[in-house]
Structure 1
Amino acid sequence: MRATRRLTVAAVAATTALTLSACLASPDQGDDQGAESGGPDDPIVIGVSLPLTGDFAEPGKGVQRGYEAWAAHVNENGGLLDRQVELVIVDDQSSADRVASDYERLINQDGVDLIFGPFSTRLVVPAAQVAQDYGFLFVEPAGAAAEVFEQGFDNLFYAAPAIADDHYNHLADHILALPEDERPETIAVASMDDPFAQGTAYGLRDALAAEGIEVVVDEVYPPNTTDFSGIAAKIADSGADLLVVGSQYQDGVNLVVALQQQGYQPEMAAISGAPTNAEFPAAIGDKTEGILAPTGYTPDAPYPSNEEFVAAYSEEHDAEPAEDEANAWTTGQVVAAAVEAVGCADASPECQQQLIDWLHGNEVETVVGPLSWDAQGRPQSAHLIQQYVDGEITIVLPDDVKEADLVHPKPEW
């Protein structure tokens, strides 16, 4: 049996063991669910399964940092409903089968009061199905592919500004508005075989192809790919003006390094996932200038709670938060808003349904801006476009919030 990591962030006696007797035996127990909810002096226990090892470990650990920072901050400021918060975090090892069993166990055996979502569309869908089966609210930080919102879930809410297909909308509009002689004529696309990575890359690909820009390379690679020499050679041989990569983290790094080794120099490079990670510049040899990436978050965003978030996170980690940490914190904000508004935080069907209903009808102020959702849990906003300019990743689109002008063509890497 895998050990469960119980992270107690409550400001209570650390040596006191928590006993949770409100276990749920099966999804069809109905009103017996959560019958023995925690008392006013007990912590609110939140269960989470994250990919702390395996293909998605790097961003999974970022989400973990965000969840932990949120919980610590909440507890330092009185908790939720005047109760402290405790996180129970387990490692799903980037496995869809394991993440489903994790949430089954968190609900049935650990008797958690609430759950937060995992990282990656591949893990969100099976986890959300378990939550739906048990009637639990399911707010998630990183399942943005279109398929997440086509499963019929009515308990799911994505804690970010936009779904994957819409991440590059501002960049597509910018490219199509360029003068004819400046607009790219050809596109090379490479994406991990992952719904989120493909959704992000294909959203841009399809928007441009519909306007006559030719797709000359369109490659999909398995999540465990480490050798990108063949794909890089194909892209370099094409001489495509625009490079579009749908990545998570390490795959994006490895592909960029392979392209540099091939001597390929695109006029524009749009890479989702990897460039927003703080380790990206060092990982590719500090050759980032001109690389574009969509992001749902920037530490400089003017939203009221963002300054508080950046200060709290930076004090603990001696570094500003990135997008994964921000989306995790946002997940906590969304759930907390519902809990405080409804006045309950337990596993009972009545409480969970009240939380779900409240989020369907209300807007929540978060560190990524005000969020509201359609009936399927899609956020009703848009992503920013960032670019490495003078060595710093900077907002360049849309024009009303940009910190610098978009650099085009991209300098050589």
Structure 2
Amino acid sequence: MPGIGRGGRRYAALSTAALLMATAAACGSGSGSTNGPITIGISLPLSGPVADASKPAYEGYKVWVEQINAEGGLLGRQVELKVLDDGFDQNTVVSNYNRLISQDRVDLLLGTFSSKLNLPASSVAERNKMLYVEPSGGAEEIFTRGYEYLFFAQPSTSLDLPEQFVNYIASLPADQRPRTAAYPTQDDPNTDVTIEEFRERLTELGVESVYNEKYAPETVNFDPIASAIARENPDLVIHGAVAANDGAGLVKALQKQDFSPDMMFQTNAPSLVGSYPQAVGEANTEGVFTTTAWSPESTYQGNAEFVKAYTESYGSPPTDDAANAYTAAQVLGEAVEQVGSLDQTALADWLHSHPVSTIVGSLRWDERGVPEGDMLLAQWQQGNLEFILPEGQQTVPEAVNPKPGWS
């Protein structure tokens, strides 16, 4: 039975009294109360190297809470977020989720940011048999552990992220394809998988790898990396960036080297429509590719309302990270409404057997919690993040190729 979204969220036959009885009988409810608010626990890297990307995710969660509470909450109860800062540290994120479950006794969980953090955090949730819907963190290793309570709230995982860009390269005439490529990447479970998949698939198309190195998450000086790339003079740079900090850091370092590749793809960073252009200079965004899970222009149910609400609350349009968090909350909320309780096993079972309508389309999961869908290929053109592929989602007729030089 398909998910029905926020508009038709309640079983009409259930009275308020019946809802309260169902909640009282639920397993996994942290507070044990059926009268107070439903508390959702989250750990996020609100400080540290990816705080610029994590902050919009937090805001996406908050927009969903405001909307759901305006409609009466979940199971007739208002919803509150309990959010802890993990500073992008794996040990801290584990401590935070343990605290949220055992000390704060939250009723539900939502995921954190990046594969690096979601990998250990999801293990905490699984040990405690609590549903864990993550907004980001598509590394393949997250989904190879046989977890039953884990679900990813994007259309596809890191292994599938290169598909649309590789398809674009394959569609080009032979004399317009890149001949060589460099693959710098932050050492992160998410980007590691994605960049290796890029390298393998582009090598199959005849693109020679001339640079393939990882850098530490705390890296702030990208000059040595840029110098090494410039010496190899690749036609294409595929950069595994986690946030605007490292995305912009490499661009600025390449500018110092006076090296501008004909084509450039970066993960994550270019989708930060507010901070990325500010960090690299709007003119220097031109022609940069990325992949996103979501488009502000899409016509999926509830998307226009989300964009409007977020923009009104925070003064700028939402980013991909904000939309991913909102989507994860949609998935969690729909499962609770459809099951009619906070029973964690029942929630996971329901998601394994039902699709959910979200702002990124209808999501359905396999037994691993891996979604079945397609990402979007985007490119910065004339100060806007436009969409190139797949067909039917384009906002511009063609891609910019080659990329203009830096300004």
Decide: shared fold, TM above 0.5.
Answer: yes
The CA distance in 1 between the partners of 2:126 and 2:378, in whole Å, is: 35
CA-CA distance at 1:70 after TM superposition: 0.9
Task: Please give the alpha-carbon distance, in whole angstroms, between the structure 1 residues aligned to 2:71 and 2:42.
Answer: 22
Report whether the alignment pairs 1:265 with 2:257: no
2:62 alignment partner in structure 1: 68
Structure 1 position 289 matched with structure 2 position 286: yes
User: Secondary structure of the equivalent of 1:165?
Assistant: coil
Q: Residue 344 of structure 1 corresponds to which residue in structure 2?
A: 341
Judge conservation of contact 2:30–2:106 (CA < 8 Å) in 1: no
Query: Which residue matches 2:405?
Result: 412
What is the CA–CA distance in structure 2 between the aligned matches of 1:35 and 1:407, rounded to whole Å? 52
Which among 243, 251, 260 is matched to residue 246 of structure 2?
A: 251
Equivalent residue for 1:369, pick from 361, 366, 382: 361
Say whether residues 1:130 and 2:129 are aligned partners. Answer: no
1:163 partnered with 2:157: yes
Cα deviation code 1:334-390 (max 9, x no counterpart): 011100100012xxxxx1000000000010010111111111111111110110111
Structure 1 CA distance for aligned equivalents of residues 268 and 323 of structure 2:
14
Distance 1:208 1:84, change over 3 A: same
Contact 2:130 2:344 in 1 (8 A): yes
Q: Is the CA contact (8 Å cut-off) linking 1:233 and 1:262 kept in structure 2?
A: yes
2:178: which partner in 1? 184
1:245–1:35 Cα change, 3 Å? closer
**Tell me, what secondary structure is at the counterpart of 2:379?**
strand
In the TM superposition, 1:3-402 aligns within 5 A as 34=29, 37-39=32-34, 41-249=35-243, 250-277=245-272, 278-286=274-282, 287-345=284-342, 351-402=343-394
Give the whole-Å Cα distance in 1 for the aligned partners of 2:156 and 2:276. Answer: 23
Matched residue SS, 1:401: coil
User: Which one-letter code corresponds to 1:355 in the other structure?
Assistant: L
Q: Could you list the runs of 5+ residues in structure 2 that have no partner in the other structure?
A: 1-25
Contact 2:28/2:107 (<8 A) preserved: no
Letter in structure 1 aligned against 2:62 = E
| Aligned residue type for 1:175 | I
The separation in 2 between residues aligned to 1:243 and 1:180, in whole angstroms, is 18
1:189·1:243 contact (CA, 8 Å) conserved in 2?
A: yes
Question: C-alpha displacement at 1:304, in angstroms?
Answer: 1.3
Identity over aligned pairs, percent? 41
> What is the count of residue pairs matched by the alignment?
377
Contact 1:298–1:322 at 8 Å: present in 2 too?
A: no
Matches of 2:196 and 2:30, distance apart in 1: 46
Q: Does 1 or 2 have the higher relative contact order (CA < 8 Å, sep 6+)?
A: 2
SS at match of 1:49: strand
Give the partner amino acid of 2:360. V
The C-alpha deviation readout for 1:99-151, integer Å capped at 9, x for no partner, is 11111111111111101011111111111111111110000011111111112
Q: Is the CA contact (8 Å cut-off) linking 1:386 and 1:395 kept in structure 2?
A: yes
Q: For 1:1-51, what per-residue CA distance to the aligned partner results, in whole angstroms no more than 9, with x for missing partners?
A: xxxxxxxxxxxxxxxxxxxxxxxxxxxxxx996486221x31111111111
Contact 1:67-1:329 at 8 Å conserved across structures? yes
Structure-2 change in CA distance of 1:77 and 1:240 (3 Å): same
Aligned to 1:5: none
Q: 8 Å contact 2:311–2:317 — kept in the other structure?
A: yes
The structural deviation recorded for 1:201 is 2.3
Matched residue, 1:28: none
Q: Match of 2:23?
A: none
TM superposition score normalised by structure 1: 0.89
Mark the CA change 1:132 to 1:229 in structure 2 (over 3 Å): closer, same or farther: same
Amino acid aligned to 1:372: R
Q: CA deviation at 1:198?
A: 2.1
**Aligned counterparts of 2:373 and 2:58: Cα–Cα separation in 1:** 25
Q: Matches of 1:112 and 1:36 in 2, distance apart?
A: 6
Judged with a 3 Å threshold, the aligned counterparts in structure 2 of structure 1 residues 35 and 83 are, in CA distance, closer, same or farther, namely: closer
Structure 1 match to 2:7: none
Q: Which amino acid aligns with 2:219?
A: T
Q: Deviations over 1:198-251 (max 9, x none)?
A: 222222221111222100111110001111111101111111111100011211
Q: What root-mean-square deviation, in Å, do the aligned CA atoms of Structure 1 and Structure 2 show?
A: 1.4
* 4+ runs deviating over 4 angstroms: 31-36
